[in-house]
Amino acid sequence: MWTMPPTDSVLNMLSFIAVAAQSMTAALAAGRRSMDWAGVCMLGAITALGGGTIRDVLVGHYPLLWFKHPIYLAVAAAGAFATILLARLVVRLNLAFLVLDAIGLVVFTMAGCDVAWQVDASLPIVIVAGMITGCAGGVLRDILCNEVPLLFRSELYASVSVVTGLFYATGVGLHLNDQLWTVLTFAVGLTFRMLAIRYRWEMPKFVFNAEEE
């Protein structure tokens, strides 16, 4: 029932950390909206697994990961619940969480590209699949918290996902060593995201206020 997915690859092991981390940041958002404990766990699971779920539904890739391995649901719910108990600590470890969330972004992006390759997608779709996997969970979290998604207006996030995906695809296209390239892509993506947070790199904004009717 709680059979483990294969843990032979670096990516699979990192994905557990990523699921827990994204669930924990979602739990903090839930706390700001005074959700109840069940709501916190649900929001955590939706955020952590939502990106991959949307990607799988869009490419028709069944069964879903958490359908086959419900352990992911348990990890997400456990991460969210732990955050309720340790909220003060989680906040103090803010930096650690930004790193963990960035790990999630990069790991999910690579996993998304992998799935798209499995169904023979073209390059643009591989990049989009990576981006959806890395970013869509956070969009669901913000919708459920009744906010305009951070993804559309904050520091580089989708762009990190696109760059990570392109870098990953380059190596795979050149048939370079798989495990090594995965680690390299991971380092590049993570560094990019941390620099974006540190120096507040942002896209230019499109501000538009004219009355048009």
Residues that bind its own copies (CB under 8 A): 1-2, 27-28, 30-40, 42-43, 53, 57-60, 62-64, 67, 70, 73-74, 84, 87-88, 91, 94, 121-125, 128, 139, 143-149, 151-154, 158-159, 202-210, 212-213
Cα(196)–Cα(192) distance, integer angstroms: 6
The SS3 assignment for 186 reads helix
The residue among 28 and 111 lying less far from its own copies, judged by its C-beta, is 28
Buried b (16+ CB within 10 A) or exposed e, 35-45: beeeebbbbbb
Residue position matching structure tokens 């969480």: 97
Q: How far is the CB of 79 from its own copies (least distance, A)?
A: 13
For residue 166, report the phi and psi dihedrals to the nearest 5 degrees: -65, -45
In the bound complex, what is the minimum distance in angstroms from residue 183's beta carbon to its own copies? 27
Closest distance of CB 210 from its own copies, Å? 5
**Least CB distance from residue 177 to its own copies, whole Å?**
26
Q: Which is nearer to its own copies, 162 or 184 (CB)?
A: 162
Query: Considering beta carbons, is residue 72 or 182 the nearer one to its own copies?
Result: 72
Alpha-carbon distance 99 to 157, whole Å?
13
Q: How far apart are CA 42 and CA 199, in angstroms?
A: 33
| Residue 18 token pair | 């990523």
Q: Which is nearer to its own copies, 17 or 64 (CB)?
A: 64
The answer to whether the CB of 34 falls within 8 A of the CB of 120 is no
Q: Closer CB to its own copies, residue 178 or residue 202?
A: 202
The DSSP code for 150 is G
Residue 35 or 190 with smaller CB distance to its own copies: 35
The whole-angstrom separation of Cα 51 and Cα 184 is 23
Distance of CA 73 to the CA centre of its chain: 15
